Structure 1
C-alpha cells in the first residue's frame, strides 16, 4: 500500500526516506507536557531480516507533511516475530540521550542566586543549554542545592513545585510556566482548532471535574526574624470550591512558599477538566498549546490546554493526531442555556 501522508526520516543528518520507504509501516510521535520525554516509534516490515540496525546513539529527525515533529536519539531497537505472522522491527527514540549526563548526580550549591543562575549551572554540567520562562528565571533564594540529584530530577522537581513544564529536547532544556499558552521565550504557542463536523474524528471530554478543585493553595514556612511559622495562601478563583490545598512539606522561606502556592493554584485550574480528542493529522499541535473546540455541544465547546500530543501515520491507514486535554476555559464546563 502507498503512503497517503508525506514523511521524511533523517538518521545522523542523512536523509533515509527513500531507503526506508519499502519497509516503513508506521510512525508514532508523542509530545508530552514535561512529565515524560518526547518519544518516536518507527515500525518496519522485517520479513527478510535485511534491515540494518541503527547504530547506538544515532540521531533521528522525523517530518510529517513537511513539519518537524520529532528530534531525538535512538533508545531501543526491538525485533518481534512468530512462525505464523512474519517479522517486525520497532525502533524507538527519545527526545534526549538517556545515556548522557542528564541522569548523573550533581553535588553543588549556590547562595543568593536566581533560578536562572542555579539551574543554568546544573544544565551546563549536564552538557545542555537552559531556557527559563522570564516569569520564573528571576526567582531568588538565599540557598540552592543540587543535593546529589541529577539535572533531570532537579528540573522535574522544580517544575512540580512551581507549576511549570520541564522539557529536554536534544541539547536544550526548557522550564516554562504552565497553563499560559506561551513558550519559555514568551512567544505564543500554536492554537489548534477542532470542528464538529469537520476535522474532529472523535472526542471524549469531561469539561468539569471537581476532585482536584480547591478554594486556595497554602504553603507554610519558618520565618527566622520572628522565630515563628507563617503561611502563604493564594485564592484559586475556582467557583464553589471550599477545600484548602495545604502543602505538607515546609518551604525554606517566604519566596519558596509563594512559588509553591502559585504552583498549587495553577494545578487546580489545570485539573478542572480533562479529555481526549482525535483529529485528522494536525502537525502544528504542541503540548501546552491551545485547543479550540466547536460544534460538539454547549458546555463542551470552548478552549482547552493541550497536555499531550500523539501523531500517528500508517502506510495502510492514513494519519491522525490525538490530544490529551486539561484546563477548560472559554465557556467549556458551563451550559448557559
Structure 2
C-alpha cells in the first residue's frame, strides 16, 4: 500500500481515501492483521498526518435469490454452512429455493433479503473462480458510450465538450470515453455548492467556495450548504458547531437575485468565501457594473467573469465576493444585479 500511495501522489493524482482490501487480514478473518502488514497502524497515523483518510474492506455477502447466487451454486462455489441439519432454520431457508434443503447459513447484512457468505478459504478454488467470473460479467471492457435516460425535466451537461448544453428528454446516447471522467449532468432548479479539489480534502477545504445554479422553467432554484470542521465529534446536532446555508435564486427579465439565510453560522468554524457563481440556462444579458450585496454596490471582476448568449452560461468570479465568515446565526445575504435592455 505504501508504494501504491506514493506512486499516486508522485503522479499528482488527487487521492483522499486509500482502501485497504481483505489482503491486510490474517487468512481473510475480520478484525485481524496479517504478519506481512507489520507496522500498518503506524502507517495509518502517517496517512492521517498527510490529511488522508482510510477505509478497511470486510467480507461480502450475496443475496440468496438472484443471478449471482444461482451462478455460484451452479459452479459449486462454497458458502459458510451450518454444522448439521438440525441447526438450519427451515422457516427461513424454505423461502429461498436456491438454498432450500442445504446447510448454507443465511444471514442479514446490507441487502434487505437474506444473504449467504462465500467461503473464500475453499480449498478447491471454485469459489474464487466463481467470484472472478462475476466481476468479469459485471464489467464490460472497452465501452465508450452510455445509453442514458433523462426523465422529463430540465437537464444540463457538465461534460467539457458539451458544457452547459440543455439535454434532450428520453433515451440519449452519451459519450463516455475511457480517457475522460464519467459523464455528469445537473438537474434544473438547484443551487449546488462546490469547491475546487486538491490532493486531499484538508487542502481542498482551503479553496474558495462556488455555487452552480441550474435554471428550470418558471421556477426558482434552491439548494443548501452544510459546512463543519470536517472531522470533529459531537453528541447532538443542536450542539454541533457548523454553518448551514439555504440558497434561493430567482430571475426575471429585469434582474436576478441570489439570496441566502444561515440557519447556524458559528464563528469558531472557519469557512472560505464564496467567490464563484455559475448559472446555466441564463436567458438575459447581465449588467456587470450594477451588482449589489445587501444593498451596497460590489465590484465584479470583469476579467474573470463572462456571459455567453449561445450557451446561456453566466460566470461571476470575484475574489472574496461574499465573505461567509462575516455572518452570524440567522444572518444572510442578498446578491442582486440588473439586466441590460434586450
Task: Determine which structure has greater relative contact order: mean sequence separation of CA pairs < 8 Å that are 6+ residues apart, divided by chain length.
Answer: 1
Which one has a bigger Cα radius of gyration? 2
Query: Under a length normalisation based on structure 2, what TM-score does the superposition of the two structures give?
Result: 0.26
More strand by share: 1
